[in-house]
Structure 1
């Protein structure tokens, strides 16, 4: 993990999306906090706002939201949206602003030892030292109860100024039967390295033999498999061994983007990666007929963060790939248009599903013009073409740059033909377009947004 950004970014945010779109709808302080936390990567600037500005917005909103709600949001950030730094930052803010104890929340959220180092580093960035309150100290100490020898060995070092033994010396965790030996060895500097491929290679082991051994042992983590497909191929592993490794991928902590990244690095294994993604995310179907509309407008081509190679379009296509397996009966629509003529353009796609969708991006983008999304016109087109008639729900994946709403045309999308309707905002806007009678507006880009839809409808 890289060091936290403690300096001003010098980023000229220009027009902040929140100021641009706030007239389209009013949000409660909690809704605004939820939006800015679930759709941003902490400490990273985006196209519209600097990292410092995003963090300031989070802090300002935390003054207006109850401490318990902030803690519940932190838990949602960690386990539903699979974020790592944001939930810890929310806990610090809840504790400092509202004086609420975060001991139990730290124990719950910090399910990896390196997150303890993250939290302490955040405290130092904020306060200039590792000095902490008693609830934080107790929470950090109690979190060690969940860590076994493998986790302690794997995360004992950090590329920050802090290591895991430093955390032990600061908070003095009480040893348990599960970690007593590991903690003693950690302090004595005799703890054996964890059984990871990085450790084996650093000790001089042969790369091909290491991967083959760990695949045979089934000891290679799911994310490590997806990230190392090219390494495996270059090391000379057989195609069958690599396919076996991909079949072992099974983790609740993966996101659709992990699979898209793997497919980019090993396109010859697309079918196998696609099957692994399907096994991870599509165990339960969302019943009925769903219209899934994907925004392919120009703004969707923006990179998601300063340290990412992925665009909003990548996120949307990865989400569409997962949705093609989760929704029982799917009508997939791509939509964009021409900003100059303020005319939307839409198309039905039946040629591929799963990760194969991304192979057709250029064709889709070219045909639709690459302008903004026209949500009102999209809904009218779906009715005119007869697609809305038998559909149970409408799901739109976009970045909130709605041209109809932007120009104040007062044309709200008609969602009445559907039992439920949703906009999934994958941008990092503080505010989003709030138009039409949507069942829910959701921000985020993990498979959990689909779980939310199912849970909401079942309830």
Structure 2
């Protein structure tokens, strides 16, 4: 064997990514975890939602360890807040696993809300029709039997193709008084914010009366804490406009650590709320920014503070526009604030360092970092070509679709290490789940996801490079 040829082959990677560039494939388990923690089954820059769903099905079928697949789905739904992709995996497992002793417990474990039952069941029926496997019936039925009247009323979905009543008829869950009331039609309407606001609009005889009733409805919802945390985020602008007397109480809910932890709200949702509030130009809108920043900091409280110097390299190329750039900028900001010896870089065709004032709020830093994203191509080589300092670790936040430079950046990285005399840890943070890496998996710590759980895992990765997979494997079925 000619070893120069071998080196050339390594630099070229062992696969081609969706952008047409050299890349490295992931192990099936790592790719499954990556896609489960990033995919919302909507269209992405390089892949349609249907293609993503097809890839999920392929990975579920190809992974021999179906118990690991089940644990990954539970992790994605209950710890990382990912919904649609966990529903798809649950439906696929119902088709592909027969007779395993853990299946009933899996379906009970992957259900977080009553509508999870509806979505998993609808997904299975749409793909495979009836009969419904016994494990799916028993597991989803057991989950339904544990919900209370309010939860069942909130998610009864009377106008949907598959209603909660239909699910009870199909699954035959264990009897419970809330389910009996559901089937008799005796459940009182859930006092959701949608219901309250709709009733207020219907009862008012003129615009002034409607405004008063809506203001009172918001006041009642917030005072009784019957407004869900995600609904609170979505309606901050409405509360500012329609019930300004409730702003202080609403912001107290916003920064409540217990509500934040229970909500499973993904961190980028705070950016959406911020944009809606700031565009309103309403009185007291400026009061919301500090509260939103405090809520973000609490939702990402497990960001590790590393010793030594850290380089945070954010992909600012065109394919990152939208959610990947939003979450990447946010993660870069919180990492920079948590680590005094951190430097932030944004790369695309080339790479530039971003000067930050760490006394600014998290969300202000996030927007400043995102502002430096130029679009254009994806050149991973630029990270190491523009870096002259020796770092202890390098965190790369990207969709991993590098294509510039004709080769994967392994040689450029090796040259950087030789030039600076350092041997940094590399965290490869996948923000899209497309399934490829820019470094061989054995040389990097692979991370994925949009939640704070990824930061918890970073604490252990320098000791155990497969910490994320091991954390999922530790879930009990």
> Shorter chain as normaliser: what TM range?
0.7 to 0.9
TM-score (norm 1): 0.81
Seen in structure 2, the aligned counterparts of structure 1 residues 406 and 124 have a Cα distance that, compared at 3 Å, is farther
What does residue 306 of structure 1 align with? none
> Aligned with 1:349: secondary structure?
coil
2:325 to 313, 336, 339: 313
Larger deviation: 141-150 or 429-438?
Answer: 429-438
- Contact 1:337-1:345 within 8 A present in 2 as well: no
Which structure: greater helix fraction?
A: 2
- Contact 1:298-1:371 within 8 A present in 2 as well: yes
- Contact 2:311-2:344 within 8 A present in 1 as well: yes
Cα distance between partner residues in 2 of 1:30 and 1:223: 31
What CA RMSD, in Å, does the superposition of the two structures yield over aligned residues?
A: 2.9
**Aligned-residue offset at 1:335:** 1.9
Seen in structure 2, the aligned counterparts of structure 1 residues 409 and 61 have a Cα distance that, compared at 3 Å, is closer
- Structure 1 regions of 5+ residues with no counterpart? 1-14, 303-309
TM-score (norm 2): 0.78
Seen in structure 2, the aligned counterparts of structure 1 residues 232 and 17 have a Cα distance that, compared at 3 Å, is same
What does residue 230 of structure 2 align with? 223
> Aligned with 1:286: secondary structure?
coil
1:277 to 283, 293, 296: 296
Cα distance between partner residues in 1 of 2:293 and 2:147: 32
What does residue 165 of structure 2 align with? 165
**Aligned-residue offset at 1:405:** 5.7
1:291 to 310, 315, 319: 310
Larger deviation: 118-127 or 409-418?
Answer: 409-418
**Aligned-residue offset at 1:122:** 0.6
> Aligned with 1:160: secondary structure?
coil
1:442 to 447, 459, 471: 447
Cα distance between partner residues in 2 of 1:287 and 1:91: 37
- Contact 1:293-1:333 within 8 A present in 2 as well: yes
Correspondence list, 1:382-421, <5 A: 382=387, 384-385=388-389, 388=391, 391=392, 393-403=393-403, 406-407=406-407, 411-414=411-414, 417=422, 420-421=425-426
What does residue 52 of structure 1 align with? 50
**Aligned-residue offset at 1:112:** 0.7
Seen in structure 2, the aligned counterparts of structure 1 residues 405 and 262 have a Cα distance that, compared at 3 Å, is same
**Aligned-residue offset at 1:317:** 1.6
Higher relative contact order (CA 8 A, sep 6+): 2
What does residue 436 of structure 2 align with? 431
1:233 matched to 2:245? The reply is no
Seen in structure 2, the aligned counterparts of structure 1 residues 345 and 446 have a Cα distance that, compared at 3 Å, is same
- Contact 1:412-1:436 within 8 A present in 2 as well: no
Correspondence list, 1:168-247, <5 A: 168-175=168-175, 180-204=176-200, 206-238=213-245, 239-247=247-255
- Contact 1:316-1:426 within 8 A present in 2 as well: yes
- Structure 2 regions of 5+ residues with no counterpart? 1-14, 204-212, 279-285, 465-477
Cα distance between partner residues in 2 of 1:34 and 1:224: 28
Correspondence list, 1:86-125, <5 A: 86-99=85-98, 101=100, 102-125=103-126
Seen in structure 2, the aligned counterparts of structure 1 residues 280 and 46 have a Cα distance that, compared at 3 Å, is closer
What does residue 335 of structure 2 align with? 323
What does residue 24 of structure 1 align with? 23
> Aligned with 2:136: secondary structure?
helix
Seen in structure 2, the aligned counterparts of structure 1 residues 419 and 240 have a Cα distance that, compared at 3 Å, is same
Cα distance between partner residues in 1 of 2:370 and 2:300: 26
> Aligned with 1:334: secondary structure?
strand
1:349 matched to 2:382? The reply is no
User: For residues 160-188 of structure 1, what are the alpha-carbon distances to aligned partners after superposition, in whole Å with 9 as ceiling and x for unaligned?
Assistant: 3111111112212113xxxx331121111
What does residue 151 of structure 2 align with? 151
Cα distance between partner residues in 2 of 1:227 and 1:137: 34
Cα distance between partner residues in 2 of 1:165 and 1:234: 37
What does residue 359 of structure 1 align with? 367
- Contact 2:347-2:382 within 8 A present in 1 as well: no
Seen in structure 2, the aligned counterparts of structure 1 residues 142 and 345 have a Cα distance that, compared at 3 Å, is same
What does residue 138 of structure 1 align with? 138
Count of paired positions: 418
- Contact 1:421-1:439 within 8 A present in 2 as well: yes
User: For residues 256-311 of structure 1, what are the alpha-carbon distances to aligned partners after superposition, in whole Å with 9 as ceiling and x for unaligned?
Assistant: 11111111111321111111221232167434346252424332443xxxxxxx34
Seen in structure 2, the aligned counterparts of structure 1 residues 405 and 332 have a Cα distance that, compared at 3 Å, is same
